[in-house]
Structure 1
Amino acid sequence: MDQRVLIAGDRSSAGKTTVSMGLMANLKDKGYVVQPFKVGLDYIDPSYHSLITGRPSRNIDGLLMKDERIRDIFFDATKDADISIIEGVRGLYEGYSASNDIGSTAQIAKVLKTPVILVIDARSITRSASALVKGYQLFDPEINFSGVILNHLGSKRHKEKAEEAINRYTNLEVLGSIPRDSFTGIKMRHLGLVPAKEGEKTDKNFFNTIENIKRLIADYVDIDKIVSIAKSSEDIENLKSSNTIFFQSSQQNTVKIGIAMDEAFNFYYYDNLYLLENAGAKLIYFSPIHDKKLPEVDGLYIGGGYPEFYAEDLESNKSMLTDIKRFCEREKPVFAECGGLVYLMDKMVIKNDEYSFVGLIDGYSSMNRDRRVVNYVLGKFTENSVIGRENDKFIGHEFHKSIAFCGGKNYTINLTRGEGIKDGKDGMKVYNTLATYTHFHAASFLPFAKNFVENCKL
């Protein structure tokens, strides 16, 4: 279904996530089958999209993916949907480079020929809001701007002046004006929002928060007008490619892969899991916090998340720690990503406390630094591993605050961009386990799913 709209911000924290979530919730209540998307590499916002719509939110990124692959993902996701809401990333024009739009929300708007609604942080500006809108329009005439939502308005007079200026000096309609003191109750952390899977289990007010957001958007945004804009989207059926077959399964589920999934570990791109299934895997979910032993599986995938907030729970589950270490020592295929890397090390240090973890990788991780690492990375495998082969190149990303101090020397990845575990080295290999700070997107690094499943067959 081609009906779609893209919610972009004039900057980070303009309010596009709140607007996107509220739109999705209201449209679902109206009976629409809503397909969510998130521009860029983000696990957390999509977790809310998926919870609200009941459908997997798909990440699309113009640096990692060719235009054709972005459209493949879009068509695969929307084949049974009524309307798509695409949430942008950062400011509309922010991307990989200052000299082009690669990796930006603007790039996705053009690749998918999608109407853009610009969310503006209007705090302390009125007439200047119209100059901001005008500048965004003139900067790239290929963008199909279809409306404006003003956020963080301080008073009725503030609203009236800002709306009047935009109506007078631009050709765009103000589709919503949201008061500054509107309380949504979204909780934040050093990597963004608290993930939805964690929030729904640990926050008694979590679902009230979703309701607050839904009411906020219903009260202050013209949802019916946004639906009309989505319905006016250009038909892009002619842009379908034969590569859409990439998302069709051609194999039986011949191996079992255990997926660590709970409050501590839930950073997985939907397409990573989807493509593992298509490559022949049956996914078996387990909790390193709550389950006492591993399920019977042929391989393990331990993704990212927030193990630092559940370090005591993870440490206390001794039988799971032992099971995972023995599994790795049997040279079974294991891929551990970021939080998974941290979990496989000897211990984690948080302030003055130490927590013992799996103990497969010699060394420890520490949360005792101020900055976080958020990067695209460019790299190459220097030897074969469970997901990559020697000389395979990839683009991925880093997304963490911890720092790892590894005693081992067997790094299997060289990065030409990014930090990795140490000095541009990443991919610690122990037995048949690969542990990285790099996050991979399987629709970008195509060998990921096939190689992992093939290794699990051996």
Structure 2
Amino acid sequence: MMTIPRLILAGDRSSAGKTTISTGVMSLLYERGLKVQPFKVGLDYIDPSYHSLVTHRQSENLDGFLMSEPAIVEAFQHSAEGSDVAIIEGVRGLYEGLEALSDIGSTAQIAKILNAPVVLVLDAQSITRSTAAIVKGYKDFDKRINFKGVILNKVGSDRHAEKATAAIQKYTGVEVLGAIPRNKGMSLTMRHLGLIPAREGASMVDDFGVRIDKIKAIVQEHVNIDRLLEIAKSAPKLKTGRQSIFKQEKPTGARIGVAMDEAFNFYYKDNVDLLQLKGAEVVYFSPLHDREIPDVDGLILGGGYPEFFARELSENASMRKSIADASASGMPIYAECGGMMYLTGTLEDEKGKRFDMVGAFGGVASMKHIRHIGYVLGQLEKDTPIGVKGTFFKGHEFHYSVLTDVPPDAKFAYRMDRGIGIKDGLDGMLVNNTLGSYTHLHAASYVPFARNFVDACVEYKGQ
């Protein structure tokens, strides 16, 4: 059994204000001297970057479609260990998931698996008495949810807040824990896939820190933080099992370079953690700022927004050559989405301007603004650095780019049963020991990932 105060901040819909409010709450708890472990329901890289920024602990993703129930509990246990409180930001509306008639992939599913109290963030713009109907519906829809309170967001005035609060308390008995006024300060800059990542925002936006401070001040003034902490502490003990995924193994001597900068920063916490637990040393490097790769036995290039740094990436010719040479030598290289785009021959930005990239793969990564987002299912049809032929996997993809001019003799390792991939239901372009895909994998879901990649790096090191 594990005792850890925990709380889910769910939304009544997308854009209800979950991320800004969660970030504010986490920051305020951290300022009290608490060790705050952040979590995000669903497959998202950007919201967790804000969590990590304000708590100084890397945020963990939990997904009920990709991950089994034991894996979810184990991942929660692994990340929450040593913390004082866990704050979990939901995804979309509380009950939104993969299907219409089940809660698979939803915040509600995670709430039940972790037996965590839920506070609903409700977009109250332009409604007062109707807020009570919405809250009652959310409370009664699934009686297994430990529904503990509501935070009203985007209220128009004190009178608006008073009327909505009175209606909710009379008709539902649910405690109103805050009422946040409509305020431009409660927003973070958006772009086509969502918020700007915290790492990029901090380096590019002069008033980024001011924005975070303003969010924190507004949340502090209008939300009962003491009561939220009490609710988190009321969470019952969580039954945990044996650690089967997150087990520390002996050092292998393998060193794995992980690209981390403004252009490449989409990584799930578990993917990096599990490489280290399997005995590898992780070495971060920057394709933007460094001149060549570090002394490593494998490379991982995560997703991000390389299209916004195409000129800088292209002008760093020594880094491009360093990675191309490593690929040609047979070094294990794994790249997802933005990382894969960087490994192609050319990147075409939104205006049609083309920039030279690494060239490990043929083809042109073009920003066509054709939106692809969702879960994927597939299997490996070839042996790769992350798994062997015949292995099944679950993952997700979200991108606005497409690969064009793909060489007719290109080899693909993934056969997609669900999802778009690169072309014709295929994904996972494979050249030498370099694998690049639009599919994003979560290492606590696709468990062979870390073990196989570390083993491939050890084999390469021994050549």
Q: How high is the TM-score relative to the length of structure 2?
A: 0.96
Aligned residue number for residue 352 of structure 1: 352
Aligned pairs (5 A) from 1:268-347: 268-347=267-346
CA distances 1:192-236 after superposition (whole Å, capped 9, x unpaired): 111111111222211111111110110100000111111111111
Residue 452 of structure 1, CA deviation = 0.3
Residues 428 and 436 of structure 1 are in contact (CA less than 8 Å); yes or no, is this contact kept in structure 2?
yes
Deviations 1:41-61 (A, max 9, x none): 111111111111011111111
The residue aligned with 2:367 is 367
Cα distance in 2 between the residues matched to 1:352 and 1:433? 27
- Residue 386, structure 1, aligned to residue 388, structure 2: no
Q: Is the 8 A contact 1:256 1:284 kept in 2?
A: yes
Q: Give secondary structure in 1 for the equivalent of 2:135.
A: helix
SS at match of 1:429: strand
| Structure 2: distance between partners of 1:41 and 1:187 | 20
In 2, distance between residues paired with 1:435 and 1:58?
24
2:296 partner letter: V
Does the 8 Å contact 2:397/2:439 carry over to 1? yes
Q: Map Cα deviations across residues 240-269 of structure 1 (whole Å, 9 max, x no partner).
A: 111x25313121142011111100000011
Contact conserved, 2:372 with 2:398, CA < 8 A, in 1? yes
CA contact (8 A) 1:253 1:277 kept: no
Structure 1 residue 4, shift from structure 2 partner: 0.7
2:432 alignment counterpart:
431
Shift in Å, 1:156: 2.0
Q: How does 1:402-441 map to 2 (within 5 A)?
A: 402-405=401-404, 406-407=406-407, 408-441=409-442
Asked whether the 8 Å contact 2:20–2:187 carries over to 1, the reply is no
Residues 368-404 of structure 1 show CA distances to partners (whole Å, capped at 9, x for unaligned) of 33x3211100000001001021010010000211111
Contact 1:349 1:368 in 2 (8 A): no
- Distance in 2, Cα, partners of 1:78 & 1:314: 37
The residue identity in structure 1 corresponding to 2:219 is: I
Give the CA deviation at 1:339: 0.6
Q: CA deviation at 1:352?
A: 2.6
SS in 2 for 1:65: coil
Q: Determine which of 30, 33, 37 is the counterpart of 1:31.
A: 33
- Tell me how far apart the structure 2 counterparts of residues 210 and 349 of structure 1 sit (CA, whole Å): 33
Check whether the contact 2:120–2:150 (CA below 8 A) recurs between aligned residues.
Answer: yes
CA distance in 2, matches of 1:295, 1:66: 36
Amino acid of the structure 2 residue aligned with 1:47: S
In the alignment, residue 420 of structure 1 is paired with which amino acid? G
Aligned residue in 1 for 2:122: 120
Deviation at 1:182, TM superposition (A): 4.4
- CA–CA distance in structure 2, aligned partners of residues 411 and 455 of structure 1: 19
Distance (whole Å) between structure 2 residues aligned to residue 19 and residue 169 of structure 1: 25
Matched, 1:397 2:411: no
Distance in 1 (CA, whole Å) between partners of 2:196 and 2:257 is: 24
CA distance in structure 2 between the aligned counterparts of 1:257 and 1:235, rounded to whole angstroms: 37
Once the two structures are TM-superposed, the CA of residue 185 in structure 1 deviates from its matched residue by: 4.8
CA contact (8 A) 2:71 2:245 kept: no
Aligned-partner Cα distance in 2 for 1:200–1:183: 16
RMSD of the TM alignment (CA)? 1.0
Partners of 1:275 and 1:232 lie apart in 2 by 31
Question: By how many angstroms is 1:66 displaced?
Answer: 0.9
Structure 1 residue corresponding to 2:17, chosen from 9, 15, 36: 15
The residue aligned with 1:451 is 452
Secondary structure at the counterpart of residue 364 of structure 2: strand
Q: Match for residue 163 of structure 2? A: 161
- Runs of 4+, deviation exceeding 3 Å: none
Which sections of structure 2, spanning at least 5 residues, go unmatched? none
Q: Residue type matched to 2:366 in 1?
A: S
Amino acid at match of 2:360: L
Distance in 2 (alpha carbons) for counterparts of 1:29 and 1:149: 21
Q: Secondary structure at the match of 2:185?
A: coil
Counterpart code for 1:346:
G
Output the CA distance in 1 between the equivalents of 2:283 and 2:33.
32
- Counterpart AA for 2:380: F
- Separation in 2, partners of 1:97, 1:388: 29
Separation (CA, whole Å) in 2 of partners of 1:29 and 1:285 = 28
Identity of aligned residues (%): 51
Q: Distance in 2 between matches of 1:175 and 1:116?
A: 12
Q: Conserved in 2, the CA contact under 8 Å of 1:178 and 1:220?
A: yes
Secondary structure of residue in 1 paired with 2:363: strand
> 1:83-140 CA distances to partner (integer Å, 9 max, x unpaired)?
1100000000010111100100000000000100001111111111100011111111
Q: Deviations over 1:141-184 (max 9, x none)?
A: 11011000011111222112111110110010110001112413
Q: Is the Cα contact below 8 Å between 2:245 and 2:447 reproduced in 1? A: no
Do residues 145 (structure 1) and 147 (structure 2) align? yes
Code of the aligned partner of 2:363: G
Aligned equivalents of 1:162, 1:185: Cα separation in 2: 23
The alignment's TM-score, normalised by the length of structure 1, stands at 0.98
Q: Does the CA contact (< 8 Å) of 1:3 and 1:233 recur in 2?
A: yes
76-85 or 215-224: which moved more? 76-85
Could you tell me which residue of structure 1 aligns to residue 201 of structure 2? Answer: 199
Amino acid paired to 2:157:
S
SS at match of 1:246: coil
Instruction: Check whether the contact 1:182–1:216 (CA below 8 A) recurs between aligned residues.
Output: no
SS in 1 for 2:103: coil
- Residue pairs, 1:222-241, within 5 angstroms: 222-236=224-238, 239-241=239-241
